[in-house]
């Protein structure tokens, strides 16, 4: 339904998006999950990371964002890039809907937009690419034209370059949209996906000498999360139910209308896919994942709403979005105090290597916050403990198949694990340690000074 935007509506759109931009750029909130995967890799490629780089959800997205990290010496560029991407998502929904102004404002006011806008993540770009991949797969489904199929596949492959989690969703995506298509077309689609993944393969080959490194590593990690039973072990029961509540509030209240027989039959494939995705999100309740499918939900939902329902949905969207952004102005993050502490420590103890505890990955937190050049390196306490134990093995597992009721001559076994590669750090010369807590879980270190947030410890000679 093509509805030309009046000048008043254009001004309203610009004003609302400017409010979103101001909130995004002024809040200290940058998200809570997987942030280090993108900030660390971007800072590392920019040459400003004073630590060993840990595994990342997307080295490529960090690499592509490293230029603005180097320019600004901060992560503000991530927010600017993601605001541009969110604008493109909103406009794409407007364009694909046939320039329906209702779709434009439903997407702009969607609580998931206001929730994820400040987050440093690759889900925003994944959502934009997936929306157009879906658009072209729908065009292919209607016309059977191979060019539409290839566009969709290449875009899906590009998503895998910046967010590896799409591979698990794409299994259902391909099955649902190709179950009644020619096998040759499915093969064409898989080849198109591989073509889209070429940038990832090239970077992995350059970094690791193996083009499938990131895909295999992150796929195995995701599989482990998928098959865990019960609630997410990282969150408590009360917090988990709060997440579920927010998740269902963000989903448009009239979305469930799409399950009515006439609506479901009209676009069965889309509804089947949306159902699978929502069930997967419920299994691993992370609100940010909704950005992947919300544009598709809006596109399909707007066709079914009458004027009264539309007004109700607009009002609810505004209320929920307002509730989401309130904490952005209230929350106080300790990063500024940590940064001040690190600046003082680096001035008083320049060019030193610091062990960081008490958690294994706290070193990455400090390496992300510190922007000076007087720290030689932040070292994980896990690596330091491995040195003390004279081992490099972090995790080791062995699967074996031994005969129980058979006097056999052979046994099959598979062994794997995670280890720390050799590095150039002289661990015996490390004299200082920093803890984000009041205590340090290392022997032979004593407290030197307690700062605002950090505690500095010195090794006992």
Nearest one of 37, 130, 20, 137 to 79, comparing CA atoms: 20
pLDDT score, position 402: 64
The reported pLDDT for the residue numbered 405 is 59
pLDDT (0 to 100) of residue 334: 65
d(C-alpha 65, C-alpha 418), whole Å: 28
Task: Decide the pairing of beta strands 412-419 and 393-401.
Answer: antiparallel
DSSP letter for 51, please: B
Rounded distance between C-alpha atoms, residue 277 and residue 175, angstroms: 13
**Which residues of the chain fall short of a pLDDT of 50?**
229-238
Q: What pLDDT is recorded for position 421?
A: 79
Q: Which residues contact 386 (CB under 8 A, 6 or more apart)?
A: 392, 393, 394, 420
0.95 exceeded by pTM: no
pLDDT of residue 406: 59
Residue 442 gets which letter from DSSP?
-
């Amino acid at each position: 339904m093509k509805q030309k935007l009046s000048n008043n509506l254009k001004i309203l759109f610009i004003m609302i998006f400017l409010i979103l931009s101001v909130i995004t750029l002024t809040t200290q909130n940058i998200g809570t999950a997987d942030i280090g995967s993108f900030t660390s890799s971007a800072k590392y490629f920019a040459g400003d990371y004073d630590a060993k780089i840990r595994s990342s959800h997307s080295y490529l997205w960090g690499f592509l964002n490293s230029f603005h990290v180097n320019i600004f010496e901060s992560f503000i560029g991530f927010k600017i890039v993601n605001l541009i991407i969110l604008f493109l998502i909103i406009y794409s929904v407007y364009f694909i809907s046939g320039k329906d102004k209702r779709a434009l404002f439903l997407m702009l006011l969607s609580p998931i937009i206001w929730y994820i806008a400040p987050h440093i993540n690759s889900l925003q770009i994944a959502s934009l690419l997936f929306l157009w991949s879906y658009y072209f797969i729908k065009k292919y489904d209607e016309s059977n034209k191979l060019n539409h199929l290839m566009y969709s596949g290449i875009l899906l492959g590009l998503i895998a370059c910046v967010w590896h989690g799409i591979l698990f969703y794409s299994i259902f995506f391909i099955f649902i949209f190709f179950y009644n298509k020619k096998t040759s077309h499915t093969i064409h689609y898989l080849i198109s996906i591989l073509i889209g993944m070429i940038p990832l393969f090239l970077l992995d080959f350059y970094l690791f000498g193996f083009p499938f490194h990131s895909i295999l590593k992150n796929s195995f990690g995701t599989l482990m999360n998928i098959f865990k039973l019960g609630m997410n072990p990282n969150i408590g029961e009360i917090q988990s139910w709060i997440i579920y509540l927010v998740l269902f509030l963000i989903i448009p209240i009239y979305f469930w209308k799409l399950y009515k027989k006439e609506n479901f039959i009209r676009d069965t494939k889309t509804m089947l896919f949306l159902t699978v995705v929502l069930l997967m999100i419920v299994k691993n309740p992370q609100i940010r994942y909704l950005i992947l499918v919300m544009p598709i939900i809006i596109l399909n939902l707007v066709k079914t709403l009458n004027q009264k329902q539309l007004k109700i949905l607009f009002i609810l969207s505004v209320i929920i979005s307002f509730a989401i952004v309130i904490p952005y102005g209230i929350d106080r993050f300790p990063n500024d105090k940590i940064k001040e502490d690190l600046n003082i420590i680096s001035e008083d103890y320049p060019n030193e290597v610091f062990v960081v505890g008490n958690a294994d990955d706290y070193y990455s937190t400090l390496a992300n916050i510190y922007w000076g050049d007087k720290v030689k390196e932040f070292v994980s306490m896990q690596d330091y403990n491995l040195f003390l134990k004279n081992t490099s093995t972090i995790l080791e597992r062995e699967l074996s198949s031994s005969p129980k009721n058979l006097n056999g001559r052979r046994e099959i076994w598979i062994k794997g694990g995670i280890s720390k590669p050799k590095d150039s750090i002289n661990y015996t010369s490390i004299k200082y340690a920093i803890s984000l807590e009041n205590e340090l879980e290392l022997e032979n270190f004593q407290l030197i000074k307690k700062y605002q947030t950090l505690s500095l410890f010195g090794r006992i000679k």
